Amino acid sequence: MSKGLKIVTIGGGSSYTPELIEGFIKYHEELPVSEIWLVDIEAGKEKLEIVGNLARRMIEKAGVNIEVHLTLDRKEALKGADYVTTQLRVGQLAARALDEKIPLKHGVIGQETNGPGGLFKAFRTIPVILDIAHEMEELCPEAWLINFTNPAGMVTEAVLRHSNISKIIGLCNVPIGMERGVADLMDVEPSRVRIDFAGLNHMVYGLDVFVDGESVKNQIIHLITDPAKAVTMKNIHAMGWEPEFLRALNLFPCPYHNYYYKTGDVLAQELKDAEKGETRAEVVQRLEAGLFELYKDQDLAVKPPQLEERGGAYYSDAAVRLICSMHTDKRDIQAVNTVNHGAIEGIPYGSAIETSCVITKDGPKPINVGELPVAVRGLIQQIKSFERVAIEAAISGDYDTALLAMTINPLVPSDRVAKLILDEMLEAHKDYLPQFFEKKELQDNLS
């Protein structure tokens, strides 16, 4: 009898964890998981225990033989792991609130993965993920790292370039959400829908859309010009698209493209929301408080439907489906963040891309796309340049490089505004950015 799989989830106290547990239960016959280790830090201990107890009740109710371990000792958990999933948030939701509010003060969109907010989430997150990668090199060198932590594209690229871990896949629920959105629009089962994706994380386009193997792209492009039918997410207002623009683009944009093609409209909406105390971080803080009250209920033994309001819908389908396909060498097609080995021309060979891949036991194999349409190529290359410079700043703690990254982001209007936002956000997040402040102290001592 083959040994069961050991799964380690770092950030196990997350409100998303019941999604993941539901997925492992759903796929248990194909994916023989025998133990799940949920790991968190001291500040997340209470949530870890609440979520962990719910996970145990869910597994007991489902009648599957999986042991759930809760720990604050990451190294102990990582020993001999087969798959490591990461879903952490350095600084928790309070840090996200700052990422959203501070840029708004300067007339710039505040969002957790785009613009200044995404930059600072990368600054806080990348050093921690690299620490995990280095521990994996020692404790579970054959394990796959499945990263769901945003900004997923930058995290994936940082690990590829700055660790010895090559077995990393970045994962996002946007592609699977878009496919399900198409299924709803066409009133068909999601299994009948396939989208050919290419681009970057939160900057991915549907090159074509199929139902039962037949292209329906033109029909979908027509439908999503209506705000009521736009494929969107809980954290992004549905605004619809100008029909003429979409027809000319001839691609299926993802919800995050609102930030780049509707910058002024999105900024105006965010400012209104902020005045009412309804930034996305504030909304999520209230949602999470309610979710954890639900999770405490000893009679609750399933994932509550209210979790979909959190914005992590289809996480279990995306994450566990991916792991299952790799374990069984299923060779189905899924969109993931992986290394670009020439699949998309115009993006550096070793960079992370988000694209449709054949999922094998040896990992994802990107489907060759070639050159992207000229109308989107420049924007994608600009974002990739931003990501590369941002990663360099996150690791070096160099102020000038951080300012360069902030300034070249297309959502930031000038170097002057970039510097104002950078200085304020560095001070606000000081506790989570030692790489910047330790370097400054060293320079001050040498001067």
- Binding site for substrate: which residues? 96, 150
Q: How many CB atoms lie within 10 A of CB 248?
A: 10
Q: Which of 355, 303, 313, 364 is nearest to 177 (CA)?
A: 313
Round to whole Å and give the CA distance between 128 and 140.
17
d(CA 356, CA 333): 6
CB atoms within 10 A of CB 263: 16
The answer to whether 227 and 238 are in contact (CB under 8 A) is yes
- The torsion angles phi and psi of 433, rounded to 5 degrees, stand at -130, 55
Q: How many Å apart are CA 286 and CA 295, to the nearest integer?
A: 14
User: Binding site, residues?
Assistant: 96, 150, 172, 202
Name the residues annotated as catalytic: 256
Ordered alpha helix ranges (H), 74-173: 74-78, 92-105, 115-139, 152-162
Kindly give, in sequence order, each residue whose CB lies less than 8 Å from that of residue 318, ignoring residues fewer than 6 positions away.
171, 172, 173, 175, 176, 334
Any idea which residue has 């690299």 for tokens? 130
Structure tokens at 316: 């279990």
What is the SS3 assignment for 184?
A: helix
CA–CA distances in Å: residue 38 to residues 13, 47, 101: 7, 11, 31
Query: What are the structure tokens assigned to 115, written together?
Result: 């613009």
Determine the residue type at 57. Answer: R
